Structure 1
Amino acid sequence: MKKNNTIRLTLLAFAFLIFGEAFGQVPQVPSEMRFADLTIKINEQARREIQADVDALYRNASYFQVKAERVNLYLPIVERELRAAGVPTDFKYLAIQESSLIADAVSTSNAVGFWQFKQGTAEEVSLRVDSQVDERKNIVASSQGAARYLKKHNAQFNNWMCALVSYQMGLGGAKAYFGTQYNGKKVVEVDRNFHWYFKKFLAHMVAFEAPTVMLASNSGFLEEVQVQGPTTLKALAPRLGVTEAHLKEYNKWSLRGNVPDDRPYSILYIKQGAQKSVPAIASSTQTQASETTYSPPARYTSSPPANPYPKITGNTQNSTQPNQIKANDLNAIKAAQNTRQENLAQEVGLKEGKFRRINDLGKNEKVQAGQFYYTEPKRSKAEAETHVVKPGETLWSISQMYGIKLSALKAKNRIREDRDLKAGMILNLQDFRPRNEPIPMVPANEYRRIVAGEETSPPSKSMTPKTEATQNPSTPSTSTTERNANRVIHTVVQGETLFRLSQLYGVSVDDIKKWNNLSDNNIRIGQKITILKP
């Protein structure tokens, strides 16, 4: 027995050493750091103090792993919203400091959510907080609010460090504390007497931009769709291929499981799989982007704003009444409210089973307000030749959009499950795709125009791409790059980072920064980046 105990203890010790190697290599605080557009110089006393905070964050390996998994899950969205608002993406570490990225975190002062807003402040930055919705618990909306708050305060200081401290002290408190000594300054010297909140932030920045964070193993990634209510998480769950409980877990902002109709709301859910080529978290030294997460979200409706389908004709003022409108030249009706299938079927004079078969509905699916439903059989092909898949769309929503039978849509494209859909895919709506021919992808520049609403109809066959960019949307197309013998001029698109460009062209991040005189890793959409050929 004593021998067995010795073996057991030896194995436990070995496991601890292996685990410690992965998660216990505590990153060290340097004497000089870059934050936003600032150079931060840290004296030795302050450096030791910040290092103690970093050590504390790494002390419990299992707790650190749990937090790192949340970081990998949420930070790509946080970074996207900060970049879109023109706020340095380094502020993403502030969300970790504030809430550990726990949606319903509540502080002792009754600050709530990912960015820890009190109700008054939340309303100042246009977040909805009432008995139905608390957008402080929505990672997209709250990150937009935090960006607005930080940008407004930075306008007073012209110094992002002061803006960060004002997040804790308020604008008046920060002005009283700093005065004007840092206004416009690009170098900040940190000593032991410097404000504790900024030193705590630097500790989080050092801890969570470290490569060890990459070791967190997520089983999926966050997918975002925008939903215009009125509807419920329960009704959305089967469309998104998840459970109602799953949607409630990742959408705690919906306090009663409802999605209001005043505007579109971001719905998040875990999509299974992994981004094999791109790590989910971005650091200030190697900034990565999740392709799926960064896709522009589409409203969850049967009629995307850039697409004229379904074509609605007839007495559209009475579209919720039977025998008034046609959708794609088929008799149809617009549901006036959420209800059961049998109710709408009875209203249009059909047996429930026939209504369900015509609209390819599951037996227990509810009729959704605002959705168009057919009252005569859909066709085996659509008027349009092809459709470009947008984020949040399903095979069912596409079949309803064009009045094509769901079985026909699946058969023409040799695709059976919604999980096989990818944003940017070009689906056939008329002809069958040849066996063993992969579904092509629209080039990145064309896809952006379609999602942004510049493309008014689906691409025709003549537009179907045949190039290498078709098979890999991340490959730069000639429409986004200008080439000559010695260099490439690349135009930055949404979701691209210096790290992504370095992988794309086989050069280092430091080289790109040097060639373009960049002082930090922040780049913006539309920016021209020079790449010299290696």
Structure 2
Amino acid sequence: MNKSIKFLGLIAIIMISSLFIFSTSTISIKKTDGKNESDKNTSETYKIKALKIPLNLSFAGEPVPIEKTDIKERIDRELLVNTYWQSNGLLLFKRTHKYFPVIEPILEKNGIPNDFKYLAVIESGLQNVTSPAGAKGFWQLMKSTAKENGLEVNDNVDERYHLEKATQAACDYLKAAKKRFGSWTMAAAAYNAGNTGIARKIESQKVNTYYDLLLGDETQRYVPRMVALKEILTNPKKYGFVFDAEDLYKLEPTKLIKVDTVINDIAQFSKNLGINYKILKLHNPWLRENKLNNKSRKLYTLKIPSEN
């Protein structure tokens, strides 16, 4: 009797052990089949999609010849780069809401197509930046070009940082280039490569349209980049950008004050206005030093917050 009980107990132990081993192996198989998150391929959790290129793209009223293989590939490149550089894209949406209302009326007043606002976007990202070559401001004007188009540029005052005046200077340049080369796309190319550089390319290659010229990489990408950003910034949801109106930047309301004297200490001058040096410089970045020399008693217009 005792032997039978012992024997049955042994069999029970073996069966329980077998069931445990089987269930453990089954769980292991299920985990393998179901895959842990760390084992999944990137394509199962994140997808990077090719973009369909719209057929009706244009710049400044000129259709983009997508039927040309090289043009299609250049547009595709700029659409991909600017769609999937998501952080920069969102910042551009925020900044365009702030600065396009300043730029657009000046373009319109000068008869410049509205699409040229995207030139400022590709040049500077709508920031007062300085290029390695020394171009400055939203419109990335070189010192000589700025002076030729009526801007004051010196160590004390640099109007390339004055958005309204720099936009006007850019308009003057573009109008002259359009008159010389006959199209807005060629005017845009000349803005990047210079009038002389474009004239030489036309003469050597014996063609006179932007899309037929073989240009340096930067100028070759110039108009396609504007076309791509126009498409993306006009159709945010189509390209996956999601934001609310309150996420966008806005210009702070300002009022204008006139100054026709020397300012020996801009920091003290700011305090007298009820603001500080930083605030005055943020609204007037064209003032480059802590003083305004103004020996000629020129009349300058400064912006300060309207509540002051």
Q: Which amino acid counterpart does residue 220 of structure 1 have in structure 2?
A: K
- Contact kept in structure 1, 2:120 and 2:138, CA below 8 Å: yes
Deviation at 1:267, TM superposition (A): 2.6
Deviation at 1:161, TM superposition (A): 0.8
What whole-Å deviation, never above 9, does each CA across 1:225-277 have from its counterpart, x for those lacking one?
A: 443214647645786x86542332343211125565512335376xxxxxxxx
For residues 256 and 113 of structure 1, do their structure 2 counterparts lie closer, same or farther at Cα, with a shift above 3 Å needed? same
Deviation at 1:191, TM superposition (A): 7.2
Give the TM-score, by structure 2 length: 0.67
Deviation at 1:26, TM superposition (A): 9.2
For residues 39 and 233 of structure 1, do their structure 2 counterparts lie closer, same or farther at Cα, with a shift above 3 Å needed? farther
Give the TM-score, by structure 1 length: 0.41
Aligned residue for 2:289, secondary structure, equals coil
Please provide the CA RMSD for this pair: 3.6
What whole-Å deviation, never above 9, does each CA across 1:355-412 have from its counterpart, x for those lacking one?
A: xxxxxxxxxxxxxxxxxxxxxxxxxxxxxxxxxxxxx6xxxxxxxxxxxxxxxxxxxx
* Paired residue total: 248
Q: Which amino acid counterpart does residue 173 of structure 1 have in structure 2?
A: G
- Contact kept in structure 2, 1:27 and 1:206, CA below 8 Å: no
Q: Which runs of 5+ in 1 are unaligned?
A: 1-8, 10-15, 183-187, 270-391, 393-417, 420-534
Deviation at 1:74, TM superposition (A): 1.3
Aligned residue for 1:200, secondary structure, equals helix
For residues 280 and 76 of structure 2, the distance between their equivalents in structure 1, rounded to whole angstroms, comes to 38
What whole-Å deviation, never above 9, does each CA across 1:191-220 have from its counterpart, x for those lacking one?
A: 795733222332232233333578371353
1:60 aligns with 2:105: no
For residues 115 and 220 of structure 1, do their structure 2 counterparts lie closer, same or farther at Cα, with a shift above 3 Å needed? closer
| Equivalent runs, 1:32-431 vs 2, <5 Å | 32-43=56-67, 44-103=69-128, 105-179=129-203, 181-182=207-208, 190=211, 195-212=220-237, 215=243, 217-218=247-248, 220-223=250-253, 225-229=255-259, 230=261, 232=266, 235=269, 243-258=276-291, 261-265=297-301, 267=303, 418=307
Deviation at 1:142, TM superposition (A): 0.8
Deviation at 1:63, TM superposition (A): 2.9
Identical-pair percentage:
23
For residues 179 and 271 of structure 2, the distance between their equivalents in structure 1, rounded to whole angstroms, comes to 42
- Contact kept in structure 1, 2:104 and 2:117, CA below 8 Å: yes
Aligned equivalent of 2:8: none
Aligned residue for 1:129, secondary structure, equals coil
Q: Which runs of 5+ in 2 are unaligned?
A: 1-37, 39-44
Q: Which amino acid counterpart does residue 196 of structure 2 have in structure 1?
A: G
Aligned residue for 2:164, secondary structure, equals helix
For residues 192 and 247 of structure 1, the distance between their equivalents in structure 2, rounded to whole angstroms, comes to 46
Q: Which has the higher contact order (CA 8 A, sep 6+)?
A: 2
Computing the radius of gyration over CA atoms, which structure comes out larger, 1 or 2? 2
Aligned equivalent of 1:456: none
Aligned residue for 2:303, secondary structure, equals strand
Which structure dedicates a bigger proportion of its chain to helix? 2
For residues 205 and 238 of structure 1, do their structure 2 counterparts lie closer, same or farther at Cα, with a shift above 3 Å needed? farther
Q: Which amino acid counterpart does residue 285 of structure 2 have in structure 1?
A: K
- Contact kept in structure 1, 2:158 and 2:287, CA below 8 Å: yes
Which structure dedicates a bigger proportion of its chain to strand? 1
Aligned residue for 1:41, secondary structure, equals coil
Aligned residue for 2:65, secondary structure, equals strand
What whole-Å deviation, never above 9, does each CA across 1:413-444 have from its counterpart, x for those lacking one?
A: xxxxx49xxxxxxxxxxxxxxxxxxxxxxxxx
Q: Which amino acid counterpart does residue 299 of structure 2 have in structure 1?
A: R
For residues 214 and 150 of structure 1, the distance between their equivalents in structure 2, rounded to whole angstroms, comes to 34
